[in-house]
Structure 1
Amino acid sequence: MKTIKVTEESTLLATLLQGGYSRTKGKQLLKYRAVMVNDLPATRLDQILAPGDVLTITSANEVSSGYPPCPGLNIIYEDADILVIDKPPGLLTIASETEKTKTAYHQLTACLRERSDDKSRVFIIHRLDQGTSGLLVFAKNEIAKHALQGSWQDARKRYWAITEGRPQKDSGTITSYLCESKIHRVYSVKTDNGEGKYAETRYQVVQSNDDYALLDITLITGRKNQIRVHLADIGHPVAGDKKYGAKTDPIKRLALQSYFLAFTHPISGEPMEFTLDPPGKFKSLLARKKPPKT
């Protein structure tokens, strides 16, 4: 929270500009009712301020914390236009042929409608596989939806992945064309056959023990099951990923987490960046070592 004491007659906009805020940011602050003048919410940038007036400006994180929680979901950030959650493993992003209600989309929509009215809803921007946990973004209105979808290719996305065994190279780039079979299994082909989509994944080994390695994954493209297929391609599938060849399931879940997201706010244009620590089970698994032979 920031406080500005007015020393000479001015407009609210001029005072905000002097305080380091842009006009766009000022509009955003008013929209979120984040600017108070003498304990009353400001509504116009051309409002006249007098000497002695006191502005109180609430930060984006403080605005986010003012929204009621959604039971069963960990909301990392929320404002009038977007929601960012930490999706738990096992929860679908949207409905499937067999599951309609146990999804992040359904739960968030129900939560927003309970807060306000039956017309509230969220909009899908991107997806995480059911077994993958981590950062997932939704829009709260159609303007934000179209803006985010139009720029999503510029978003930066990173993941933690625990693989079976340690890759031979400590870092590398995996490329291929990804195709999908009639039974919805994604697979790689090395050359463009006219059906596949180009996919590129970069990785860096962060830590390893005798059985597993923790990789920092950067997605250059964002294809369905991309990380899982690419890591299986180099002989080190994600732990717990039986669909793509894993032989072990040490933490009873897919060992993959979306831990970093950076993108431009669809309304304010402000850079947004979110980071999660690796799950505790990831850390515990990497800490395990085989006992010495006796």
Structure 2
Amino acid sequence: MGYGITRTLLKKIKYHGGQTLVNGEESLVNRMLQTGDTVKVVLPPEPENDHVDVSNVPIEIVHEDPNFLVVNKPAGVASVPSHNYSADSLVNRVKGYYQRRGYANQKIHIVTRLDKDTSGLVIFAKHHFAHSVLDKQLKDRTIQKKYLAIVAGRISSPHFEIYLPIGRTEDSFVKRQVTGSGKMSVTEAWTVCRLPHQTLLKVQLHTGRTHQIRVHMEAIGHPLIGDWLYNPDDHSMSRQALHCAELTFYDPFMGRNIHCEAPLPNDMKSYINLYKL
């Protein structure tokens, strides 16, 4: 379906109180359109996530408009509620923000996620249609995300690419590894600055595997600083030194690209200042 209107969304419009209008008149979704026809979709009201607790911890908003919200997530905060983090994930905090603002639609649509100990930019859609649009962009790999990572060792190359397949490890539900039976994964990186025994990289993913940056960097002998899972002997930071610093996506409602940036967080900045020459 064009413009990000999926069959699932069409069913919700049809059966849950929405409308499809052609030239201002209510119409069936299978109507044949003529050149010059104007189609307007009225979304049905969305029930809020009743099972999601409200957290009133403030959020750092990088971008907001009627359709999208981009938040700078701190390290140590889970993206979504879980058994261990049921009341204060980023989703809980966004729900609290929606309630304080009195938004009519308080259903939380998280589009991109980060590991709990990875900081940086996370996109939320404010309604089902916006979520559907960005889900398609995710599948088409047109949402661009760039990370900043501090890795062990000095990397001499100014630019490099990693092509290695990633799959699950046999003895862990969480951990991933480079394995011939995995899915091909592509990571591109640029050297930002070199420390005596570490390197700050800007990294772009061209595939979206779980822990991709962490696994690929370990595989080439430069694991992330502070990464308890892939660099367990390094305790120089209390979390993996990984930050989603930039993202760009297309907003079809306004016909423009939205570009967001989040500066290096204080813990990574302090680490660099401590170890730089």
TM-score category of the 2 structures, normalised to the smaller one:
0.7 to 0.9
Counterpart contact for 2:105–2:126, Cα < 8 Å = no
2-side partners of 1:140 and 1:119: how far apart? 7
Distance 1:122 1:289, change over 3 A: closer
Counterpart contact for 2:193–2:200, Cα < 8 Å = yes
In the alignment, what sits opposite 1:270? Answer: 256
Q: Counterparts in 2 of 1:1-294, with a 5 A limit?
A: 71-116=57-102, 120-152=106-138, 153-181=141-169, 182-189=172-179, 191=180, 193=181, 196-289=182-275
Counterpart contact for 1:209–1:288, Cα < 8 Å = no
Unaligned runs of 5+ in 1: 1-69
In the alignment, what sits opposite 1:6? Answer: none
- What one-letter code is carried by the residue in structure 2 that aligns with 1:145? H
Deviations 1:191-225 (A, max 9, x none): 3x2xx222110111111121221001111112111
Cα displacement (A) at 1:79? 1.1
2-side partners of 1:149 and 1:97: how far apart? 26
1-side partners of 2:276 and 2:232: how far apart? 20
1-side partners of 2:165 and 2:205: how far apart? 14
Q: Which has the larger radius of gyration?
A: 1
Cα displacement (A) at 1:143? 0.5
Root mean square deviation of aligned Cα: 2.0
2-side partners of 1:283 and 1:290: how far apart? 11
Distance 1:290 1:117, change over 3 A: closer
2-side partners of 1:246 and 1:205: how far apart? 24
Cα displacement (A) at 1:289? 4.6
Deviations 1:229-282 (A, max 9, x none): 111111111111020024323232221100010110142221100112222332
Cα displacement (A) at 1:156? 1.1
Counterpart contact for 1:262–1:273, Cα < 8 Å = yes
Q: What fraction of aligned residue pairs are identical, expressed as a percent? A: 29
2-side partners of 1:256 and 1:221: how far apart? 17
TM-score, structure 2 length as denominator?
Answer: 0.73
2-side partners of 1:79 and 1:289: how far apart? 40
- What one-letter code is carried by the residue in structure 2 that aligns with 1:178? I
2-side partners of 1:276 and 1:105: how far apart? 19
SS at match of 1:169: coil
Counterpart contact for 1:237–1:246, Cα < 8 Å = no
Unaligned runs of 5+ in 2: 1-55
TM-score, structure 1 length as denominator?
Answer: 0.69
Cα displacement (A) at 1:112? 0.8
Distance 1:115 1:219, change over 3 A: same
SS at match of 1:245: coil
2-side partners of 1:288 and 1:99: how far apart? 32
Distance 1:157 1:119, change over 3 A: closer
Deviations 1:151-182 (A, max 9, x none): 12201111000011123533211122211245
1-side partners of 2:69 and 2:63: how far apart? 6
SS at match of 2:229: helix
